C-alpha cells in the first residue's frame, strides 16, 4: 500500500488489466496494475526521451527455480525426471526450460525423447494427454514437474484414476506457490515466486522514472525464488 500511494499522488491511472500467468489473485491484480502503469510511462518516455531507456524487465529467477526443483528430485534419488512446460511465448518459459536442461546436465542425467513436453499454463485439460503419455511409457518417469501449481488439481485426480499414489508411486512438483493449492493434500512441493517484491520493484521503478526521467536506472532486476517443501515428492524406489 505504501508503494502504490505515491502513484496516485502523481496522477497515475489505469485503463485496463493484463493478468500475469502463474500468480495468485492478489498478485495478478497488483502486477496487472503495475504493467499498465509501466506501459503508459514507457510510451511517454519513448516520445520524450531515449526510446530504449525504459524497456527493461523485472523478472523472477526462473532458471534457479528449476535448478532447485531438479536438485531436490535428485537428492531424493530420482533419475527419470520429466518436465511439462507452459507455452513457449515468453522468456519465463524459455528460462524455465533452459534451467531444467542445465540442471539435468549438471547432474549428468540423460533425457529420453519425450520427457520434455509442451503444454499450457492454468489449463490442465491441455496437458492431460501429455501426462497420460508419460505414464504409459515403459520408462515411466518417477518424478514429473508440472508447468504450474494450478495443474496439480487435475494431475492429482488423473494420477489417482491411474491407480498411482502421490508421492508413494510417483513424485510431482509445481511452480508458483499460489495460495489456492495450499489446502490440497498431499501438499505440493513447489517454487514460490516473490510477486510482492516484483510488484514493489516495478512500482518504485515507475516512480523513479516519473521523478527523475533523465537519471533513473533501467537495468534488469532478478527476483530470487524459493523452494517450498511439501509432501508431493518422496524418495524414488530403489533401482529406478
Percentage of the chain modeled with pLDDT above 70: 75
Q: Does residue 190 sit in helix, strand or coil?
A: strand
> For the whole model, what pTM was predicted?
0.76
The answer to whether the CB of 96 falls within 8 A of the CB of 85 is yes
Distance CA 121, CA 154 (A): 13
Instruction: Judge whether residue 30 has pLDDT over 90.
Output: no
Q: What is the pLDDT of residues 103-139, one digit of tens each?
A: 999 999 999 999 999 999 988 988 999 999 999 999 9
* Full 3-state SS string of 29-48: HHHHHHHHHHHHHHHHHHHH
* 82-100 pLDDT, tens digit each: 999 999 988 899 999 999 9
Nearest Cα to Cα of residue 63 among 29, 97, 88 = 97
d(CA 234, CA 78): 9
Q: What grid cell was written down for 119?
A: 503444454
Beta strands (DSSP E) in 40-167 are: 58-60, 81-85, 116-118, 143-145
Residue 41 near residue 206, CB atoms below 8 Å: yes
Q: How high is the mean pLDDT of the chain?
A: 82
Position 40 scores a pLDDT of 52
- Min mean pLDDT across 64-68, 119-123, 206-210 is at 206-210
Residue % of the chain over a pLDDT of 90: 57
| Residue-wise pLDDT tens digits, 73-82 | 999 999 999 9
Amino acid at each position: 500500500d505504501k508503494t502504490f500511494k505515491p502513484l496516485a499522488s502523481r496522477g497515475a491511472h489505469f485503463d485496463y488489466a493484463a493478468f500475469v500467468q502463474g500468480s495468485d489473485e492478489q498478485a495478478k491484480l497488483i502486477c496487472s496494475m503495475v504493467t499498465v502503469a509501466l506501459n503508459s510511462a514507457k510510451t511517454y518516455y519513448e516520445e520524450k526521451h531515449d526510446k530504449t531507456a525504459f524497456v527493461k524487465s523485472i523478472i523472477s529467477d526462473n532458471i534457479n527455480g528449476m535448478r532447485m526443483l531438479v536438485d531436490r528430485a535428485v537428492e531424493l534419488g530420482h533419475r527419470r525426471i520429466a518436465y511439462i512446460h507452459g507455452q513457449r511465448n515468453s522468456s519465463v518459459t524459455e528460462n524455465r526450460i533452459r534451467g531444467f536442461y542445465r540442471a539435468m546436465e549438471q547432474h549428468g542425467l540423460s533425457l529420453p525423447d519425450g520427457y520434455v513436453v509442451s503444454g499450457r499454463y492454468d489449463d490442465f485439460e491441455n496437458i492431460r494427454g501429455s501426462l497420460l503419455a508419460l505414464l504409459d511409457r515403459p520408462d515411466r518417469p518417477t518424478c514429473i514437474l508440472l508447468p504450474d501449481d494450478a495443474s496439480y488439481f487435475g494431475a492429482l485426480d488423473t494420477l489417482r484414476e491411474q491407480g498411482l499414489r502421490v508421492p508413494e508411486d510417483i513424485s510431482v512438483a509445481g511452480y508458483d506457490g499460489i495460495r489456492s493449492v495450499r489446502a490440497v493434500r498431499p501438499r505440493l512441493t513447489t517454487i514460490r515466486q516473490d510477486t510482492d517484491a516484483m510488484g514493489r520493484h516495478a512500482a518504485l521503478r515507475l516512480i523513479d522514472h516519473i521523478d527523475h526521467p533523465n537519471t533513473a536506472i533501467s537495468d534488469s532486476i532478478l527476483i530470487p525464488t524459493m523452494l517450498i517443501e511439501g509432501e508431493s515428492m518422496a524418495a524414488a524406489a530403489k533401482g529406478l
